Chain A
Amino acid sequence: MAESYFLLAATFIPLLLAPVAYAIGRKAGAKPATWFSFVALAVSTGLMLIPAIGVYTGQQTVYVEQYAWGQFGNFGLRLDGLSLPFALIIYILCTVIALYSRPYMVHKVREDLPGHGSGGEGGGGVGHGSINPSVHGSHALPSKNIESSSQTTVLDTQQYVNNQVALYFALYLTFSMGMLGTVLATNLIEFYVFFELMLVPSFFLIAFYGYGARRRIALMFFFWTHAGAVVLLLGLLAMGFFAGGFDFDTIKANAGNIPGQWLPLIVFALVIGLGVKLAAFMLHIWLPYAHAEAPTPVSALLSPAMIGIGAYGLLRLWMELLAGTGSYEQYSLYINMWGLATMIYGGAMALMQDDIKKVLAYSSISQMGYILFGISSESILGITGGTMMYITHGLGKAILFMMAGSIILQTGTRSMAKLGGLAGKMPYTAVIAMIGALTIIGIPPTSGFMAEWILFNGVLQTAVAEMDPLRTTMFALGILATVLSSAYILWMYKRIFFGKIPEQLAHVRDSNRYITATMAVFAAMTLIIGVYPDLFLNPITDYYNDVMFQGQEGVLPVPSEAAGTDSEVAPENVEQNSGGDESAGAEED
């Protein structure tokens, strides 16, 4: 049993309060529901921060809360250098985007009202229909701005909006809980349960509040990711069966018991199952639809927070739990190639889009390729970079999706052919979106650069150490793909914010504070992490160096001046070096 219950509380407070949020929304309206959800999530984040600070300062490398869970073993929640960045970013994103949701969802629900506009299955018709001149930021204050002829309609409308928004927040809170639970889980079954728990609310969020053929797309999203999850489950069950228990610790200890002929199958199941979530190349079919047609706040959570959990899964289940069995070194090269293909393919397809949210969706695919590329680099630097990439992509892509939402709110369209010259009309959105864009491109002083240089540095380190022309070529292609990222992001930015303003948009105003202020929070964070990356790097590298890859062969340590002399003279020998030497080198700094 655990002595403290911080993580338990942080995980389940949102779930327990979800019905309350629903009730508040129905009775009191959107604003109280928003602030209630915000406070619930903020308190949970705060509760999580307490153990997180302990981990950060190095008092405890690993903080675990465990509860007996019948025949599955233990139900645990674990915060360490690997789960900390994921957990923190997930909850920060959820907390801040809760506020952002309010004006957006009120507007969206209103737009979907029966009898209003195209409504129904066709959704708001954003991106397909023409520019809606009546759309303004004033919808942010629904109770004051209703121009209906009859009093009863006003009340009905109001109640409808309240109901819908209340349900939204209930689902939203559940979704948050599912994501956090997944990254904190310490048990394979628990991991799977949370993994599916985050899928269900996101399915409803898309089906109820999406655009276009939303029910169809939500189903597609559900089927694909669920199929992936089932494949994953097979792998997890096999792991548990051979290791004699579902607890991570048991598996880590008994990973050697997995028969050699089963190992490839298990790795295959893990990689495919998580690859669907990550939307790796050829498994990405669902992503452009789901991200583009989900309501924008949900897109801003799906894309940065949720899909990256696939990467977390690979790190935890494959690289950490199956570490001793040699599966990582065996397959990392193929994952590396897959990552590269994803990276380039996503970037190339992003260039072909006219819909802002589709550009961002393909961009997410590409960025997931970066993460895959990093974590399969066989170098602590590369793996650290991959983890940093999750953080930075989370912040950057959230900003950009929120920008897309801001533009949809103000102009009623997300087709870039109909946009242009908005920099002067929406200055705050434009400035913050530029910071987000720079984060995705990887330009200092945003966190994007910190992630990218560490990541690519690691990839090159492996290539050099192994003197492998294939890895070197892949490094070159990968780093050139960052130019592709710059191209699609800047081109998108140019088409939205630069050039002549179309006549219909002459009276567009900037979004209200709910939108710009929440975006600004993330922009500030990416700048802070970009200048002072130790905030996240410290726990990550500590954990990777000292716990996860300690003494593991085939994973290169961080090069440092003091440590490197042996490997410098003959870097091709690094692989043969005993693990002890390497970790000793890493500890010296």
Chain B
Amino acid sequence: MTTTGFEGIAINAWSVWLLPFIGAAIIAAVARAGHRVRDYAAVGFALASAISAATLLPLGLEGAEVHSQIPWISSLGLEAGVLADPLSIIMANLVAWISFLIMVYSTGYMHGDRDLTRYWFFMLFFIGSMQLIVLSDNLLMVFFGWEGVGLASYALIGFWYYDRKKDYVGVEGHIAGGIPMWTSPTHAGMKAFLMTRAGDVMMLAGMFLIFAYAGTFGFVELAEDPAWAFAMSQQNLLVPAAVLLFGGAIGKSAQFPFNEWLLEAMTGPTAVSALIHAATMVKAGVFLVARIGPLFFALASAGAFSVEQFFEVIAWVGAITAFLLATQALVNPEIKKVLAYSTGSQIGYMMMGLGIAGLSVNFVEGFTAGFFLLISHAIFKASLFMGAGALLHGVGSRFMSDMGGLRIHMKKTYVFMLLAGLSLAAAPVITLGFWSKDAVFASVLESGYTFSTPLFIIAVVVAVMTAFYTFRMLGMAFFGKKSRHIEEMEHRGHHVHDAGPRMWVPYGILAIASIVIGVIGFVFEADLEHILGEYLAESFGIQGGEEASEEEAPVTIAPEGDRTWFGLNPTAAIASIGAFAVGGALGYIFYIGRHVSPQIISRSIVTRAIWKFLYNRWYLNSALYWGAVIGPLAIYRFIWRYFESTIVDGINPALQQSMSYMSGVVKAGQNGITQTYLFVFAAGIMIIVMLLFL
């Protein structure tokens, strides 16, 4: 259904992203009416946006599409518009409702902060920008939202701009490769902004390339006429353009090699971290890939040219990131950072799924797997982050070694984090994490891609590590004895207790949701696959594999997988369960049962070296600073000192001096002494004579 302007259901689609912006615009004015009103208003706008999104949901589940455009930059023939198709409607609802819960949580978590108006402004701005990315019908507007989330994350990561020591992340005094590894909030904000900006310019370049050929940014228009893609592939520009677009996704989703900002982003308030990691910002990159992936795939199959390298890049970037960040999560002492590494790693999985989709015979399966993981990760990671925020509040420290034994004092947080944690670790059958991860495994196995085996092995290894670090985190926080820090606190009369209902209800809801949906996970997955399959078929003409005609049984459309047990691929399921068992068991032994002390790794020089390598983040951060900050600055300083300050600035004095020298020369001949004049005159005559005769 295409409409022009604000009509009918299209209004709801517009208001999903407009409402948060309107809220952000007026929040400062509302704040004059009192703090309580302001807080309610902020949460209210998030709720209103969520309700608008929910009104679209029936349409999305039917597979309908709302496309509404209004004139925008008429001089360049560009229009603004929203495109609410099943993909964006599902995503918009996910973003809206999780954001709403995080806003509710914020009223508790941020209670009493003196800069709450600014906080609400940027939170609403953040949500609005994300919804803009989700619902825009063209790349240019997506880029507006894209930079909007970048800006909001910059402002919120550095929210506590006065840089108190307690807001830092990293262990003070930890230096790796000559680079300090602890960071102030404002530094972290800047780092996030600049690193994602580097990705953004790649995305811009990709957009411009496409615009130069297609003359439009619109997704619908791009899909309609494949001529531009054909022309680009003739010039070998299509894959570079697609990869450049993906560069933006790499930056925003903190994929290798732009992964380093994500860890420092933990300096923001925990509610912000939850928003960044669950619903906005990092998911923007995945969503963009989900938006453009099918487009390029469909164009390629229509025009009979290959964009396989593009999907290969996506899959491998995902795999590398998943592995890289999972290894680092194994050794980190800060709870929020463990979760941050885990996010990066899980997003690697999503990218792997979306990438493998384009490499396999059945595009729908991998696509569904990646998107399903996005949904499930949003739910459990939001819950985990909010739970971690409650722990931070309760204990007053970001280090897990300052926690311990909290299952008694913070029972609710314990239960909910355990549930959500099980989902992250992919505990079999009952959790959302299991089904989604299994779907990724299966799609990799069934893809028929040449290098699917190494990808699968990486995926399984990462799953083992995921289970391990999840149990490590839960064990260190909730099991064992109370830490000295807590004992001191209790000594001083502070008793650790659970957070108030405004905080625990939101993460409770999400934790329970991750299990409830997990229990019916296979049905959920089948439905999702059905919806997305229809969406892909309708919008892009992508059919779900060879047996796509069997629409009544979408679960079994995989080409050769003999899915017997809940439609699972047996290899994938066994690998997934095995990974959980191995990783979970190790985590249990070391951190929950505490049968073996983790200190044993310091006994061998090899394990210590590995630990140090991982703890220093593979020295990637150090390399980044040396290569991208210190190195260029040294060059600039050299130019500044020896070119700008000496040569360029020397031009003026040099001119001045040469002028005074010249005037000295001229003056010397005009000293009023007749002999000198005669001498000069005679010399002149002689020169002229010589010139004439020679």
Contacts and interface: CB of A to CB of B under 8 A. Distances in A.
A285 B648 contact: yes
B227 A569 contact: yes
Contacts of A285: 648-649, 651-652
B208 A460 contact: yes
A558 B76 contact: yes
B639 A483 contact: no
Interface stretch (B191-199, B416-424, B676-684): B191-199
A503 interface: no
Interface string B191-231: 00110011001001100110111111000010000011011
Interface residues on A, range: 35 or more
B211 A559 contact: yes
Contact of B208 (A438, A456, A498, A540): A456
Contacts of A457: 208, 211-212
A535 to B, nearest CB: 10
Contact of A565 (B74, B193, B227): B227
Contact of A444 (B148, B162, B221, B237): B148
B642 interface: no
A465 B212 contact: yes
B322 interface: no
A348 to B, nearest CB: 4
B158 interface: yes
A486 B74 contact: no
Interface string A433-447: 000001000011100
A559 B215 contact: yes
Contacts of B213: 464, 559, 564, 568, 571
Contacts of A564: 213-215, 228
Contact of B209 (A454, A460, A540): A460
A447 B465 CA distance: 47
Contacts of A467: 235
Contact of A483 (B184, B201, B230): B201
Given A348-B636, A589-B77, A444 B212 contact: no
Nearest to B650: A285
B637 interface: yes
Interface string A204-230: 000000000000000010000000000
A479 interface: yes
B74 A534 contact: yes
A342 interface: no
Contacts, number: 160
B144 A349 contact: no
Contact of A438 (B151, B211, B228): B151
A491 interface: yes
B74 A499 contact: no
Nearest to A463: B212
B190 A491 contact: yes
Interface string B139-174: 010011001101100100010011100000000000
A558 B190 contact: no
Contacts of B237: 464
Given A454-B76, A456-B204, A559-B212, A497 B648 contact: no
A73 B86 CA distance: 67
Contacts of A499: 161-163, 184, 186
A12 interface: no
B658 to A, nearest CB: 14
Interface string A463-483: 011010000000110011011
Nearest to B163: A499
A276 interface: no
Contact of A541 (B75, B184, B639, B640): B75
B162 A534 contact: no
Name B's interface SS. helix
B553 interface: no
B163 A538 contact: no
Contacts of A501: 162
B201 A480 contact: yes
Contacts of B72: 532, 534
Interface residues on B, range: 35 or more
Contacts of A187: none
Contacts of B640: 348-349, 352
B33 interface: no
A52 B186 CA distance: 44
A460 B231 contact: no
Contact of B212 (A282, A464, A542, A561): A464
Nearest to B649: A285
Contact of B186 (A352, A424, A498): A498
A462 to B, nearest CB: 9
Contacts of B205: 456, 460, 475-476, 479
B633 interface: yes
A19 interface: no
B550 interface: no
Nearest to A453: B204
Contacts of A563: 215
B605 interface: no
Given A443-B150, A483-B198, A494-B186, 13 more contacts: A285-B652, A444-B144, A461-B208, A464-B212, A490-B194, A498-B163, A537-B76, A542-B75, A558-B77, A559-B212, A560-B77, A560-B215, A568-B214
Interface of A: 220, 282, 284-285, 345, 348-349, 351-352, 381, 421, 423-424, 438, 443-445, 449, 453-454, 456-457, 460-461, 464-465, 467, 475-476, 479-480, 482-483, 486-487, 490-491, 494, 497-501, 532-534, 537-538, 540-542, 558-565, 568-571, 589
Closest 7 CB pairs of A and B: A589-B77, A498-B186, A559-B215, A541-B75, A352-B640, A348-B636, A537-B75
Interface of B: 72-77, 140, 143-144, 147-148, 150-151, 154, 158, 161-163, 184, 186-187, 190, 193-194, 197-198, 201, 204-205, 208-209, 211-216, 221, 227-228, 230-231, 235, 237, 632-633, 635-637, 639-640, 644, 648-649, 651-652
18 contacts: A348-B636, A349-B640, A381-B76, A443-B151, A444-B144, A457-B208, A457-B211, A467-B235, A479-B204, A483-B194, A490-B193, A498-B162, A500-B163, A537-B73, A559-B213, A561-B215, A568-B231, A571-B235
